[in-house]
């Protein structure tokens, strides 16, 4: 296949809400360019983009799929992305490596909530943006309302390049304000006639054309001077101004489409060729240490892996963008993260499941390779002379947690390997192997994300699994001081065991006064790995316990702190003072004092009014104004504390503190309440005490679960 240079490669990503028509648009773009001779449909399950079995089953995109077209001496790389935000990782990766985002709007629904969520990432990466108003052939299509909503959301950057002469089932004509012609399409779509703008539309078209000229001129001083001098701009000057505006995020050109009927697609592709920036025109990528990496074909080779996919019968596919230099078959590159040298044994241009061999890819291009040894998503591969890793992509925190177990004990070890493999392919799914909770916990983006993960486990990896409610990582502490002693004595014929300790335990808090009732010889402050502190005072005087046994007492206390008496959870924030004891000149040893310290601590803890603490998360929830009451009701039903509320961009933002135990299925409930328009961000805040009544119930449930496990 022809190797295109960096000036003739355009990378675009199709993003938008579910059912906006992204996959159909990608199919039509390939058909228009002659890459395929027959258009598939989502309904017939034969599109180039949606080729995975799970996509056929669900009738929608699950994966971001790289495709390409060749259009008038330009190569356009296209990435078709899924709509649901459960698969936001696929979208973020695609936005990162593309140079223009095409936001597909469904003319029947206008600005949908999914579009609003996706825009945050386009804006974050500052990508030039095209708005494609699709499905203008549908009965409920409303172009003007869609533009009104888009302007309300995006602001004055929304720049109408075209408008439909009619919408609905009779849609067949587009007024183009750049070329000032009317495109009239045959009934079944395809190549349109170029006709003069009808007299009835001249006034409106002239008005909108002048607005377009002003929008293009205001992005460049030289163009503004030309505009004042001539009173207008020619087509080339308009293109220049529009490109500058797009790159500054001050112009979002609007195009009219019926992707299903192949109306308007070719005109948008021509605009991508002529106006949308190539990688070489975009701001350079940056390494983690702040070094710029311009898209320069003469620089050392540097690849950024943005997607990893395991395919049956093929193995691991790595999708990458050539950030600088060029990559050729047989080239050896260094992975900056793993220090592994990877050999590029094959190069492919990917079109769904079809892959075309390539000998060389140049700076700015997107391709894939097979069977890299130890390179995954977010990794940088460098050729000689290139150093440093590219700033990685950052994915949103998971929104739900669930435990997973293999139905067969023989699959326990394999389950861990498989989950790690899925995580490498999908970094938005995290795996936590919790020794504390004795569970393997999956952290996911939502219920749909969970359903697809289950499908992969069962259909791809042939594993039967069960999903269970994830346990809560409670903590235990005490509310009052307590004294205790314990004598460990064991005689079994030979050398015996003897150790006796007296301790006092107290609730610990920062700034508490020092111990005064005993003489403190030394203090050790232990920052506990599970949070909180243990302060351990050695108050032994007179040599009643040899100094060499004190660490053993501390070790016993620490061991007992891993299983509190209420739920078996970790203990935190306790001060322990060892103030007396006894030892035997022959039988005392480390194990004796470890056991004595452990049992004395256990007994004292029971007397010190044990208190259960639960993890609290801070939530930021954005919901439409009209749905705030329902969202508040849902939060209050989950023992939430509302911190504050404010209006922002037509929505209400609620900040609240909610126990982790109450967040199970919270996202699903909120999505149902808000018709999918709610947005939730969460982060761990701290631990807080539970009520006495709730503590009793949780303790009973923990004891019951322990009895069931022991049987």
B/e letters for 412-442, b = 16+ CB within 10 Å, e = fewer, are eeebeebbebbbebbbbbbbbeeeebebbbb
> How many CB atoms lie under 10 A from the CB of residue 224?
16
Question: How confident is residue 669, by pLDDT bands cut at 50, 70 and 90?
Answer: confident
Assigned CATH topology for domain 476-608: Ribosomal Protein S5; domain 2 (3.30.230)
User: What pLDDT, on a 0 to 100 scale, did the predictor assign at position 224?
Assistant: 87
**What's the pLDDT score for residue 1?**
60
pLDDT, tens digit (0-9, with 9 covering 90-100), for 146-170: 999 999 999 999 999 999 999 999 9
What does the DSSP assignment read for 656-693?
EEEEGGG-TTHHHHHHHHTTT--EEEEEEEEEEEPPHH
Whole-number pLDDT of residue 649: 67
**Other C-beta atoms within 10 Å of 35: how many?**
16
**Strand-pair partners of 182:** 175, 195
* pLDDT mean across residues, the chain: 92
The β-bridge partners of 317 are: 309, 370
Using one digit for the tens of pLDDT, what is the confidence trace for 587-613? 999 999 999 999 999 999 999 999 999
Among 62, 39, 38, which residue's Cα sits nearest to residue 50?
62
> Given a cut of 70, is residue 387 above it in pLDDT?
yes
pLDDT of residue 665: 85
Q: What is the rounded distance in angstroms from the CA atom of residue 157 to the CA atom of residue 151?
A: 8
Residue pLDDT, tens place only, 114-137: 787 889 899 999 999 999 999 999
Cα 618 from chain centre: 18
Contact 116, 3 (CB under 8 A): no
pLDDT band per the 50, 70, 90 thresholds, residue 711: low
Mean pLDDT confidence for 608-624: 93
pLDDT tens track for 485-497: 999 998 876 778 9
Residues of the chain with CATH 3.30.70.870: 400-468
What's the CA gap between 667 and 318, in Å, rounded?
32
Burial of 310 (0-12, 13-18, 19+ CB in 10 A): middle
**Angstrom distance (rounded) from CA 282 to CA 459:** 41
Residue predicted with more confidence, 79 or 421: 79
| Angle at which helices 265-274 and 22-32 cross, to 10° | 80
In angstroms, rounded to a whole number, what is the distance separating the alpha carbons of residues 401 and 398?
8
- Structure confidence at residue 307 (pLDDT): 97
Torsion on CA atoms 51, 57, 63, 65, rounded to nearest 10: 20
- Over residues 435-461, mean pLDDT: 93
Q: Which CATH number fits domain 400-468: 3.30.70.120, 3.30.70.20, 3.40.190.10, 3.30.70.870?
A: 3.30.70.870
CA–chain centroid gap for 83, Å, is 14
Q: In sequence order, which ranges of 260-391 are alpha helices (DSSP H)?
A: 265-274
Q: Is the pLDDT of residue 677 over 80?
A: no
Model confidence pLDDT, tens digit, residues 22-38: 999 999 999 999 999 99
Q: What is the rounded distance in angstroms from the CA atom of residue 151 to the CA atom of residue 159?
A: 9
Domain with CATH 3.40.50.300 in the chain: 6-281
CATH 2.40.30.10 in the chain, residue ranges: 285-382
- Residue intervals of the chain classified under CATH 3.30.70.240 are 613-693
- How confident is the model at residue 314, as a pLDDT? 82
| Across 356-365, 519-528, 576-585, 677-686, least confident range | 677-686
CATH fold, domain 6-281, is Rossmann fold (3.40.50)
Looking at residue 505, its pLDDT comes to: 98
Q: How buried is residue 200: exposed, middle or buried, by Cβ count under 10 Å (0-12/13-18/19+)?
A: exposed
Q: What is the pLDDT at residue 164?
A: 96
Among 266-275, 507-516, 635-644, 674-683, where is mean pLDDT lowest? 674-683
- pLDDT category, 710, cuts 50, 70, 90? low
13 CB-contact burial (10 Å; exposed 0-12 / middle 13-18 / buried 19+): buried
Q: Which of 427-431, 468-472, 676-680, 707-711 has the lowest mean pLDDT?
A: 707-711
Quickly list DSSP for 26-62. Answer: HHHHHHHTTS-SS---TTTT--SS--SHHHHHHTS--
Query: 134: how many CB neighbours lie within 10 A of its CB?
Result: 28
Task: Say whether pLDDT at 576 is over 90.
Answer: yes
- Kindly report which listed range (302-311, 544-553, 617-626, 683-692) carries the lowest average pLDDT score: 617-626
Give yes or no for a contact between 657 and 685, defined as CB atoms under 8 angstroms apart. yes
3-state secondary structure of 257: coil
> In whole angstroms, what is the distance from residue 612 CA to residue 622 CA?
31
Q: What percent of the chain has pLDDT over 70?
A: 99
Both tokens assigned to 147: 């533009």
Q: What tens digit of pLDDT does each residue of 243-283 get? A: 999 999 999 999 999 999 999 999 999 999 999 999 999 99
- Listing from the earlier edge strand, what are the strands of the sheet with 465-468? 430-434, 439-444, 400-406, 465-468
Nearest-CA neighbor of 134 among 124, 143, 126, 125?
Answer: 143
Pick left, alpha or beta for residue 513 (phi over 0 → left; psi -120 to 50 → alpha; otherwise beta): beta
Architecture, CATH, for domain 613-693: 2-Layer Sandwich (3.30)
- Give the lowest-confidence range in 48-57, 229-238, 252-261, 526-535: 229-238
- pLDDT at residue 624 in the model: 82
Alpha carbon 82 to its chain centroid, in Å, reads 13
Q: Is the pLDDT of residue 305 over 90?
A: yes
* CA 77 and chain centroid, separation: 23
Of the candidates 344, 340, 299, the one whose C-alpha atom is nearest the C-alpha of residue 320 is 344
Mean pLDDT of all residues in 224-230: 84
CATH superfamily of 285-382: Translation factors (2.40.30.10)
Answer yes or no: is pLDDT of 573 > 90: yes
Pick the range with the lowest mean pLDDT from 40-54, 220-234, 424-438, 510-524.
Answer: 220-234
pLDDT surpasses 70 at 426 = yes
């Amino acid at each position: 296949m022809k190797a295109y240079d960096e000036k003739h490669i355009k990378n675009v990503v199709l993003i938008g809400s579910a059912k906006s028509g992204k996959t159909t648009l990608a199919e039509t773009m390939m058909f228009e360019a002659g890459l395929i001779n027959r258009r598939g449909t989502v309904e017939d399950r034969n599109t180039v983009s949606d080729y995975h079995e799970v996509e056929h089953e669900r009738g929608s995109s699950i994966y971001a799929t790289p495709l390409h077209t060749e259009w008038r001496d330009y190569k356009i790389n296209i990435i078709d992305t899924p709509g649901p935000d459960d698969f936001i990782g696929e979208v973020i990766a695609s936005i990162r490596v593309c140079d223009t985002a095409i936001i597909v709007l469904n003319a029947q629904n206008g600005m949908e909530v999914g579009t609003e969520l996706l825009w945050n990432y386009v804006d974050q990466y500052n990508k030039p943006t095209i708005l494609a108003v699709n499905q203008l052939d549908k009965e409920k299509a409303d172009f003007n309302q869609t533009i009104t909503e888009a302007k309300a959301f995006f602001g004055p950057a929304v720049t109408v390049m075209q408008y439909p002469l009619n919408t609905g089932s009779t849609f067949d004509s587009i007024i183009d304000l750049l070329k000032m012609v009317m495109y009239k399409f045959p009934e079944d779509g395809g190549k349109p006639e170029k006709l003069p703008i009808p007299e009835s539309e001249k006034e409106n078209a002239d008005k909108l054309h002048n607005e377009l000229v002003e929008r293009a001129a205001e992005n460049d001083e030289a163009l503004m001077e030309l505009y004042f001098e001539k009173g207008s701009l020619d087509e080339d000057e308009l293109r220049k101004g529009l490109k500058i505006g797009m790159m500054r995020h001050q112009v979002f050109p609007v195009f009219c489409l019926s992707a299903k009927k192949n109306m308007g697609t070719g005109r948008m592709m021509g605009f991508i060729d002529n106006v949308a920036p190539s990688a070489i025109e975009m701001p350079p990528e940056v390494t983690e240490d702040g070094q710029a990496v311009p898209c320069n074909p003469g620089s050392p080779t540097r690849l950024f892996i943005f997607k990893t996919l395991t395919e049956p019968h093929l193995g691991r596919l790595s999708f990458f963008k050539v950030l600088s230099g060029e990559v050729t078959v047989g080239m050896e590159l260094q992975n900056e993260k793993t220090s592994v040298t990877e050999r590029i044994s094959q190069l492919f241009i990917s079109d769904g499941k079809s892959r075309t061999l390539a000998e060389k890819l140049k700076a700015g291009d997107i391709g894939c390779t097979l069977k890299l040894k130890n390179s995954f998503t977010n990794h940088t591969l460098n050729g000689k002379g290139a150093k440093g890793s590219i700033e990685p992509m950052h994915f949103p925190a998971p929104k739900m947690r669930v435990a997973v177990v293999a139905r067969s004990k023989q699959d326990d070890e394999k389950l861990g390997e498989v989950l790690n493999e899925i995580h490498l392919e999908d970094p938005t799914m995290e795996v936590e192997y919790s020794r504390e909770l004795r569970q393997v916990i999956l952290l996911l983006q939502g219920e749909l994300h969970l359903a697809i993960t289950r499908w992969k486990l069962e259909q791809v990896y042939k594993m039967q699994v069960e999903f269970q409610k994830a346990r809560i990582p409670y903590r235990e502490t005490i509310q009052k001081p307590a004294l205790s002693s314990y004598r460990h004595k064991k005689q079994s014929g030979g050398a015996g065991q003897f150790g006796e300790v007296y301790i006092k335990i107290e609730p610990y808090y920062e700034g508490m006064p020092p111990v005064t009732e005993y003489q403190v010889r030394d203090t050790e402050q232990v920052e506990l790995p599970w949070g909180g502190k243990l302060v351990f005072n050695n108050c032994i005087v007179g040599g009643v316990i040899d100094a060499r046994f004190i660490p053993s007492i501390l070790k016993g206390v620490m061991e007992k702190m891993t299983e509190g008496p209420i739920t078996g959870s970790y203990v935190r924030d306790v001060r322990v003072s060892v103030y007396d004891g006894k030892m035997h000149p022959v039988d005392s040893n480390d194990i004796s004092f470890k056991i004595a310290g452990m049992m004395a601590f256990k007994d004292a803890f029971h007397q010190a009014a044990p208190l259960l603490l639960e993890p609290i998360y801070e939530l930021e929830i954005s919901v439409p104004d009209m749905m705030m009451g329902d969202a508040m009701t849902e939060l209050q039903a989950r023992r939430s504390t509302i911190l504050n509320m404010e209006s922002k961009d037509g929505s209400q933002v609620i900040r609240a503190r909610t126990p982790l135990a109450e967040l199970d299925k919270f996202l699903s409930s909120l999505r149902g309440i808000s018709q999918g328009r709610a947005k939730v961000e969460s982060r761990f805040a701290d631990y807080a005490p539970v009520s006495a009544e709730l503590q009793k119930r949780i303790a009973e449930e923990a004891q019951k679960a322990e009895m069931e496990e022991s049987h």
